[in-house]
Amino acid sequence: MDKPRVGLKDVAALAGVSVKTVSNVVNGYVHVTPATRSRVEAAIKELNYRPNLSARNLRQGRTGIIALAVPELDIPYFAELARFVVTAAEERGLTVLIDQTGASREREQLVAEGFRAHLIDGLIFSPLALTPEDLAARMDDTPMVLLGERVYDGPADHVVVDNVAAAKEATLHLAATGRRRIAAIGAQDDVAAETSRLRLAGYFEALAEAGLPADDRLVQHVEDYHRADGARAMARLLDSGQAPDAVFCFNDLLALGALRTLLERGHAVPGEVALAGFDDIEDGRYATPTITTVSPDKQAIARQAVDLLAARMTKGSQAEAREIRVAYQLMIRESTGG
């Protein structure tokens, strides 16, 4: 009942063949007599042999593990994304190890630097706080694919959604429903907050195009992209005496938080205030009202990321960095009168 630690050696002994032959059977090598093969397979079964991956990996220089580094797992967007990544990786025989960076720059630096070196063959990384310099300073040569808008010139592949265009489209939709005072929730001061910057740019572009004045008092800054931040930001808007008739939230969690505040204070949505979000997480499809949102093709993001990574893992890193643009779709729902 202790640990017998069965290895090829033991199987070989039992089957009366060499270690390599057992290895050949395990790896499906063709030139093995059916007789030998079945004898070996019987022995494997009897001893309940499992290949030791550490040894195999040591020998081959690969582990078959890729890491997915995301800010937080309990942010639904990343949870949904993680699920797709795991599935896509599985189809290629890869195992996914998930790292949570907690959106801390320090943790993100660690990840980029390769603190899992030799344990992972590749990295899919969704950075939040990382600066371009951090990325440029990256020494580790583990293949890496970045998720999120391309802002770095490093040799890393990117999978992106056109944040500016998507944010613009969402804001224009609000304008098209006749709203004049369209607020934005989700601006961030941090220079590294690229997502925030791009969506804000799209928001302003839309205002200009719709002929609406840009009013800084309608732009709410937040610390994080959680429900609580959205709720507080909405409260600030309502308390400002400059109540908006529409709000574009830079993600669905912010929108759900904002919605909560609006309903709690008795404002009708979309009657009084219309609401749009970003990410299309499942929560938004079951809220009342359902939330109009930008829906990035998460499955495509995951698949493209895994494909890019797999390519770089085999072809080596000399290839040119590629950028893949993924489709999105504006889902019009009840919160804007859809």
Partner DNA sequence: AATTGTGTTTACAACGTTGAATACAACGAT
Partner DNA sequence: ATCGTTGTATTCAACGTTGTAAACACAATT
Please, which residue, 119 or 327, has the CB nearer to DNA?
119
The window from 81-89, 167-175, 186-194, 234-242 that contacts a copy of itself (CB under 8 A) reads 81-89
Check binding of 169 to a copy of itself (CB under 8 A).
no
Q: Determine the length of the chain.
A: 338
Cβ 137 to a copy of itself shortest distance, Å:
12
Check binding of 28 to DNA (CB under 7 A).
no
Q: Would you call the peptide bond into 155 cis, given omega within 30 degrees of 0 as the criterion?
A: no
Check binding of 69 to a copy of itself (CB under 8 A).
no
Please, which residue, 113 or 307, has the CB nearer to a copy of itself?
113
Residue 33's binding partner, choosing from a copy of itself, DNA, none, with beta-carbon cut-off 5 to 8 A by kind? DNA
Check binding of 35 to DNA (CB under 7 A).
yes
Please, which residue, 228 or 243, has the CB nearer to a copy of itself?
228
Check binding of 139 to DNA (CB under 7 A).
no
For residue 29, what are its two tokens?
């090598």
Pick from 38, 45, 46, 51 the residue near DNA by CB under 7 A: 51
Identify residues 285-304 at the interface with a copy of itself (CB under 8 A).
Answer: 285-288
Q: Three-state SS string across the chain, please?
A: CCCCCCCHHHHHHHHCCCHHHHHHHHCCCCCCCHHHHHHHHHHHHHHCCCCCHHHHHHHHCCCCEEEEEECCCCCHHHHHHHHHHHHHHHHCCCEEEEEECCCCHHHHHHHHHCCCCCCCCEEEECCCCCCHHHHHCCCCCCCEEEECCCCCCCCCEEEEECHHHHHHHHHHHHHHCCCCCEEEEEECCCCCCHHHHHHHHHHHHHHHHHCCCCCHHHEEECCCCCHHHHHHHHHHHHHCCCCCCEEEECCHHHHHHHHHHHHHCCCCCCCCCEEEEECCCHHHHHCCCCCEEEEECHHHHHHHHHHHHHHHHHHCCCCCCCEEEECEEEECCHHHCC
Check binding of 1 to DNA (CB under 7 A).
no
Residue 76's binding partner, choosing from DNA, a copy of itself, none, with beta-carbon cut-off 5 to 8 A by kind? a copy of itself
Pick from 46, 106, 264, 323 the residue near a copy of itself by CB under 8 A: 264
**Is-contact 182 245, C-beta < 8 A?**
yes
Give the chain's end-to-end CA distance (angstroms, integer).
64
Please, which residue, 36 or 290, has the CB nearer to a copy of itself?
290
Pick from 1, 2, 28, 33 the residue near DNA by CB under 7 A: 33
The owner of tokens 């959205």 is 230
Identify residues 56-95 at the interface with DNA (CB under 7 A).
Answer: 56, 58-61
β-strand partners of 325:
160
Please, which residue, 32 or 243, has the CB nearer to DNA?
32
Please, which residue, 7 or 337, has the CB nearer to DNA?
7
Residues that bind a copy of itself (CB under 8 A): 1-3, 5, 48, 50-55, 57-58, 61, 63, 65, 72-74, 76, 79-80, 82-83, 86-87, 95-98, 100, 114, 116-119, 139-141, 227, 231, 256-257, 259-260, 263-264, 282-283, 285-288, 316-318
Residues that bind DNA (CB under 7 A): 5, 7-9, 17-21, 23-24, 26-27, 29-33, 35-36, 49-52, 55-56, 58-61
